[in-house]
Amino acid sequence: MALTASLLLRQGLLYSARSNFIKASTATMVMQSRSRHSDPLPHLPVPALEDTLNKYLRTVKPLVTDDEFRVTEEIVNKFKAPEGIGPKLQVRLEQRAKARENWLYDWWMRSAYLDYRWPVVVWSSPGLVFPLQEFKTLDDQLSFAAKMIVGALDYKRMVDEKIVPVEYMGKDKLDMSQYFNILGTCRIPGVTRDSISFFGQEADPPKHIVVAHNNHFFKINVYDKNGNTLSARQLVHLLRNVVERSTHPTNPVGLLTTQNRNVWGKAYKKIRKDRMNRASVDEIQRCIFLLALDGPIVNPTGNIMTDAALNCVHGNGPEGYAGNRWYDKTLQFTVGKKGAVGLTYEHTPAEGPPIANLMDHIMDFIAKGKDGLEAESKQEIQLPVVDVPRPERLMFNVSQDIKLEIEDAKVSLQSLVDDLEMTCFNFTGFGKNFIKSQKLSPDSFLQMAIQLAFYRIHKEPGAHYESASTRKFLYGRTETIRSCSIESVVFAKTILDPEAPVSQKATALRNAVEAHKNYVKSAVNGHGVDRHLLGLKLSAIEAGFDVPTLFMDVGYIRSSHMRLSTSQVPAKCDAFMCFGPLVPDGYGCCYNPRPDNIMFGTSAFNSSPETDSATFRAALEESLMDMHSILLADGGIKSKL
């Protein structure tokens, strides 16, 4: 069967194409690929200029006045005219695409992540909340943490052995390279630009994890001297040792990683001047992943899902567990004292799906008792835990100067924590089964519900980002789905019009869902608007040209000020991903559609008087229920005829 076949990806190729800001390319990963899977993935296309600009105009229309639209049209016409700058940039971009395996890969990594100077906390790193656990004792907490570690290492084994099933979108194989990029990876701060290191792909990859407790960091080798993974029971023993040796909080050096990246980049240079610090930082950066043992939730909101989400996203700041983290690390699990469990991941190397799959694997591994912990503790005579070296404390020599940096980080992070508010919930009215029964795409349906919720609150449409996967292509990442469309506005207006008959509402709904579905189709096939326009803009910058007027126009600015930042991240279990808004007056909304319910993580900023996540939740639930009853009512009418 196709699913058991090894990965077709030849990771080695990726490195030759990467420029030097991506380090640790000593990897000798040569993917063996069975012949029928060895056909290479297609390259990301460069769409035709005319096609992109026509699509672009349609997405601008709902967001500007008629006068503004005429100006945008004029600018677009000048841009694309034979003597305009557009065709010249298009030629440059096509040349770049011919010379590379993925024309966007490096540019995207840089412009979306490594050059982005705002904190990764809230602004970039998503949280993933696992199904809620219930811990009564420290033992419960440590046992779960140990099982999680064993489950994650089992996943790593599958990645290393290249037996993670190749994913498909319809009949098309997807690029699997992101799976290799999440373990043993770390973002490295720089003064003006960060870099990323894939330590897991070095010839001698790391064999340790780092466990954080009370802001202390400990290194744990997770393989014994024969190369076998430690058992969950051995890990419980080591975790208990960590807890016993870190009963009081220490200087929260990890808080530095929550800073603006330039500020952290400078502090990073200072901290590395000390040899001991350098060694400790190296161990943290190189580890396979980090696991943070937290206390109980601080400042609870009363909604346990929201509390767990906030703890994943920002650790509840300096008064909470933000110092018990290293936010540069790609993968950081968090295990709270009472049962809030999750992870936060640094977004540079991967999108959500590989991370959600890792979680599903861990939860399934634990549910099936594969960690062996329960079986072992039932044995009558338990063998003593021998031969495991105790965890190594990673020490920091915190100078006065670094103390001041930490104080600054506290202030900055606290204001970010105070600003972010979230509302996470389990929508139980219906799930994707109902939507499918109406012959509609569940994702497009949910996206239209989000548009409708925004319109309901703000009485105007909002520019709306949804990420689409371009993993059909070699090293593909994402394209933007511009979910706000001419059809979505007609739909929102019609639904909210008390005079409109049900049949008209249902038609508007179906049209909007269909239009969205078509955009998705273009986007996943590399024919969206945003990445192409970014390519043209970066081509101009690289050639030393002025940035074209197109990118300064109100139509461009308004249609890319994404007041809704959304993503579907499906998971097998009742988990959900969550993140902050993309813009100060926007919302974040991530969802996991399940057969009969939908998990939502929504967010907004307190500093914007216009947005509020609880209001958004109410509008979203109302919109979903309206859409549900309209379809039923319309179906009822039809079946009578």
- Residues making contact with ligand NAG (CB under 6 A): 274, 276, 397, 399, 426, 428, 574, 596-597
Q: What is the DSSP string of 531-591?
A: HHHHHHHHHHHHTTPPPPGGGTSHHHHHHTS-SEEEEE---SSS-EEE---SSTT-EEEEE
CA distance 141 to 209: 18
Q: How many CB atoms lie within 10 A of CB 395?
A: 13
CA-based radius of gyration for the chain: 25
Nearer to ligand NAG (CB atom), residue 19 or residue 397: 397
CA distance 141 to 340: 10
Catalytic residue, from 237, 347, 464, 516: name it: 347
The least CB distance from residue 34 to ligand NAG, in Å, is 40
Nearer to ligand NAG (CB atom), residue 399 or residue 549: 399
Structural element, H or E, at residue 160 = helix 138-160
Q: How many CB atoms lie within 10 A of CB 270?
A: 14
Return the structure tokens found at 286.
């190189």
Nearer to ligand NAG (CB atom), residue 415 or residue 428: 428
Query: Which among 450, 391, 196, 153 is positioned nearest to 289, based on CA atoms?
Result: 153
Reduced to 3 states (helix: H, G, I; strand: E, B; else coil), residue 121 is coil
The least CB distance from residue 598 to ligand NAG, in Å, is 9
Return the structure tokens found at 598.
């939908």
Question: What is the residue whose two structure tokens read 């338990």?
Answer: 382
Nearer to ligand NAG (CB atom), residue 374 or residue 596: 596
The least CB distance from residue 210 to ligand NAG, in Å, is 20
The least CB distance from residue 334 to ligand NAG, in Å, is 17
Nearer to ligand NAG (CB atom), residue 78 or residue 270: 270
Nearer to ligand NAG (CB atom), residue 81 or residue 276: 276
Nearer to ligand NAG (CB atom), residue 526 or residue 601: 601
Nearer to ligand NAG (CB atom), residue 48 or residue 279: 279
Nearer to ligand NAG (CB atom), residue 592 or residue 611: 592
The least CB distance from residue 290 to ligand NAG, in Å, is 23
Nearer to ligand NAG (CB atom), residue 25 or residue 399: 399
Nearer to ligand NAG (CB atom), residue 276 or residue 637: 276
CA distance 268 to 569: 33
* β partners of residue 197: 23, 186
The least CB distance from residue 395 to ligand NAG, in Å, is 8
Return the structure tokens found at 313.
């996203």
Q: Is 347 a catalytic residue?
A: yes
Q: Are 396 and 272 in contact (CB under 8 A)?
A: no
SS3 content of the chain, % helix, strand, coil (to 5): 45, 15, 40
CA distance 603 to 567: 13
The least CB distance from residue 599 to ligand NAG, in Å, is 7
Structural element, H or E, at residue 69 = helix 66-80
CA distance 237 to 532: 53
Reduced to 3 states (helix: H, G, I; strand: E, B; else coil), residue 103 is coil
Query: Which among 111, 68, 60, 73 is positioned nearest to 558, based on CA atoms?
Result: 60
Query: Which among 193, 197, 191, 164 is positioned nearest to 179, based on CA atoms?
Result: 164
Q: Are 199 and 285 in contact (CB under 8 A)?
A: yes
Q: How many CB atoms lie within 10 A of CB 580?
A: 25
The least CB distance from residue 423 to ligand NAG, in Å, is 14
| Residue type (1 letter), 474 | L
Burial code of 465-487, b = ≥16 C-beta within 10 A, e = fewer? bbbbbbbbbbbbbbbbbbbbbeb
CA distance 213 to 244: 10
**Measured CA distances, 510 to 192, 316, 343, 488, 640 (Å):** 47, 42, 37, 10, 20
CA distance 602 to 616: 8
The least CB distance from residue 456 to ligand NAG, in Å, is 24
The least CB distance from residue 574 to ligand NAG, in Å, is 4
CA 73 vs. chain centroid, Å, equals 34
The least CB distance from residue 126 to ligand NAG, in Å, is 18
Helices vs strands, H then E, count in the chain: 20, 19
CA distance 437 to 635: 11
Residues with catalytic annotation? 347
